[in-house]
Amino acid sequence: MYIGGKFPRTESGRYFTLKNAKGEEIANMCKGSRKDFRNAVVEARKAFEPWSNKTAYNRSQILYRIAEMLEGRKAQFIDELMQMGSTKKQADEEVFTSIDRLIYYAGWADKYQQISSSVNPVSGAFFNFTVLEPTGVVTAIAPEENGLIGLVSVIAPIIVSGNSCIVLASESKALCSVSFAEVINSSDVPGGVINILTGNAEELIPHFSTHMDVNSMLYCGDDKKSIQLIKENSAINLKRIVIKKDIDWMKDEAESPYFITKFTEVKTTWHPIEKIGASGSGY
């Protein structure tokens, strides 16, 4: 697990065993508990303000850096994906798509604002701007079917606008979540911005969705009961809920600037204009 820039073991002392395609045991993983999650929220909350105050350009550079570090260790990730059942070709493709996707979102960091914001016409001597701001602390249940691309596709669009996040990695393909945390740890991402838990979704969803200090939640999957529960729980503090189902995470449909704006809030602000109309030059 990766919480607040550190690699703690779960406070619960529990673990689960990962198996490869042949059914052989390959690793014991921490089975994260609600208290691990609680600690992660505290870290994410602390990290949110400084991270969202960084310039878009700087966040962009840091996302590029994650991509670079991932590229440097691609052999390891290919190997881990193959251990979890991918063929060589599939593993190659997943790692390369993951690197590309990080670069894709890095590029959007200082651009999504321009295409999503506006200057609104108003009657009066004012500018009226609508701009986007990050929502805050976001929890996410990463897709179960992909180990690496799932994590990357969830984390990148959330953090690029300045949110901090707590992500539950795929339970059955958890192996490379820890290696990916190591990549993040060596990529200038401040501790607490990205927190990765491993464990059981069904157990953690109630906490991911009820925590009052979480502002938004992303669920990737199609379990009807979970979706229903998340929607009900989110009403407690009006969390913004994003559900993603039936997406092929390897395809281009899994990346879009709209994935960034899903985790932002719209703010409209008024600013006086010195002069307006034909009487003279204003700004």
Partner 1 sequence: MKTTNKIITNINQVSVDQVGIGDRVSRITARSVKNEAKIQGLKMALNMIDLTTLEGADTVNKVKQLCYKGMHLHDAYPDLPTVAAICVYPNFVGLAKEQLKGSGINVASVATAFPSGNSSLEVKITDTKMALDAGADEVDMVISRGKFHQGEYNYVFDEIAKIKETCGKNVRLKTILETGELGSLDNVRKASDIAMYAGSDFIKTSTGKISPAATLPVTLVMLEAIKDYYYETGIQIGMKPAGGISNSKLALHYLMLVKETLGDKWLTNQWFRFGASSLANDILMQLEKQRTGNYQSKDYFSKD
Nearer of residues 237 and 269 to partner 1, judged by Cβ? 237
State in angstroms the smallest separation of the CB of 77 from partner 1. 34
Q: How far is the CB of 237 from partner 1 (least distance, A)?
A: 7
For residue 262, state whether it binds partner 1 (rule: CB under 8 A): no
Binding mask 40-59 toward partner 1 (x if CB under 8 A, else -) reads -x------------------
Least Å distance, CB 139 to partner 1, is: 11
Minimum distance of partner 1 from residue 161's CB (angstroms): 20
Q: How many residues sit close enough to partner 1 to count as binding (CB under 8 A)?
A: 9
Q: Which of positions 211-250 make contact with partner 1 (CB under 8 A)?
A: 211-213, 236-237
Report the alpha-carbon distance of residue 209 to residue 234 in Å, rounded: 6
With the C-alpha atoms ordered 174, 1, 136, 70, is the resulting torsion angle positive or negative?
negative
| 6 to 61, 88, 153, 168, 238: CA distances (angstroms) | 22, 31, 22, 16, 30
Task: Give the burial class of 279: count Cβ atoms within 10 A of its Cβ; 0-12 exposed, 13-18 middle, 19 or more buried.
Answer: exposed
**Closer of 35 and 111 to partner 1 (Cβ):** 35
Q: How far is the CB of 34 from partner 1 (least distance, A)?
A: 8
Q: Identify residue 129 by its one-letter amino acid code.
A: F
Task: Pick between residue 37 and residue 108 the one whose CB is nearest to partner 1.
Answer: 37
Q: Nearest approach, Cβ of 221 to partner 1 (angstroms)?
A: 23
CA 283, distance to chain mean position in Å, is: 39
CA distance 259 to 218: 11
Nearer to partner 1, 42 or 56 (CB): 42
d(CA 222, CA 18) in angstroms, rounded, equals 23
Nearest to 133 by CA among 263, 251, 256, 46: 263
Contact between 38 and partner 1 by CB under 8 A: the answer reads yes
Per-residue binding string, partner 1, 176-215, x by CB under 8 A, is: -------------------------------x--xxxx--
Q: Residue 192 Cβ, how far from partner 1 at the closest point, in Å? A: 16
- What's the farthest any 2 CA atoms get from each other in the chain? 80
- Judged by beta carbon, residue 97 or residue 234, the one nearer partner 1 is 234
Q: Detail the DSSP E strand segments found in the chain.
A: 15-19, 25-30, 118-119, 126-134, 137-141, 164-168, 194-197, 216-220, 240-244, 264-272
Q: Which is nearer to partner 1, 40 or 67 (CB)?
A: 40
Spatial CA neighbour of 161 closest among 105, 237, 89, 104: 105
| Closer residue to partner 1 (CB): 212 or 278 | 212
Q: What are the residues binding partner 1 (CB under 8 A)?
A: 38, 41, 207, 210-213, 236-237
